[in-house]
């Protein structure tokens, strides 16, 4: 998988019994750090989100579902490029011809129990929370949660405990973007709401 918005991996190997990856060197900071600094405008958030969407589309076209999209897995280089990091929970789906058919990929990896919940609390899609099969739509939900946080500076789903946060994902809708920022267009609000739909 090669795309300008995805971290490049040049080699995979083992040295003295220890596995390693050779990755491109990135200079900059994670999106999570930038959000915590509080200096993202609506325009900048949208520009970064477009890059994330391009990277995800490239992965999905190759049949890869990331399953852990969150601000700390998105890196902003010094020249303004976004790189999607950490495909450690990714699943490969079948690809037919030039188009991918994203088939149900169970939320489990090698060595996990069937139905195991994998992902990061606060960014998982409802079907991930339930331990059900996921496809590219789970990444779109996570992307919507990240975009919401970029625009408001607050998590879309937050509880006093991880269990309450997971319950919020299943049952609650985040507050309107208009409550946190006046610079959001109705179209952008609709996009975020569409990404955060409870039903895949």
- Residue 148, both tokens: 């919401």
Name the active-site residue from 68, 86, 135, 172: 68
Neighbours of 64 (CB within 10 A): 23
Residues 26 and 80: beta-carbon distance below 8 Å: no
How would you classify residue 138: left for phi > 0, otherwise alpha for psi between -120 and 50, otherwise beta?
A: alpha
Q: Are 71 and 146 in contact (CB under 8 A)?
A: yes
* 68 is an active site residue: yes
Q: Are 135 and 30 in contact (CB under 8 A)?
A: no
Catalogue the active-site residues: 68
């Amino acid at each position: 998988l090669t795309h300008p918005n995805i971290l490049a991996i040049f080699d995979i190997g083992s040295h003295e019994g220890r596995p390693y990856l050779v990755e491109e060197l990135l200079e900059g900071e994670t999106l999570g750090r930038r959000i915590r600094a509080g200096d993202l405008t609506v325009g900048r958030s949208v520009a970064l989100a477009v890059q994330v969407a391009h990277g995800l589309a490239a992965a999905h076209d190759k049949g890869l579902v990331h399953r852990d999209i969150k601000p700390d897995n998105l890196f902003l280089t010094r020249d303004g490029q976004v790189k999607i990091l950490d495909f450690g929970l990714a699943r490969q789906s079948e690809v037919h011809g030039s188009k991918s058919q994203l088939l149900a990929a169970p939320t489990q990896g090698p060595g996990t129990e069937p139905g195991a919940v994998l992902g990061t609390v606060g960014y998982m899609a409802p079907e991930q929370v339930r331990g059900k099969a996921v496809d590219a739509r789970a990444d779109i939900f996570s992307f919507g949660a990240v975009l919401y946080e970029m625009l408001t500076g607050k998590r879309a789903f937050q509880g006093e405990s991880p269990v309450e946060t997971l319950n919020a994902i299943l049952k609650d809708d985040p507050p309107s973007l208009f409550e946190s920022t006046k610079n959001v267009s109705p179209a952008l609000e609709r996009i975020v709401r569409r990404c955060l739909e409870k039903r895949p």
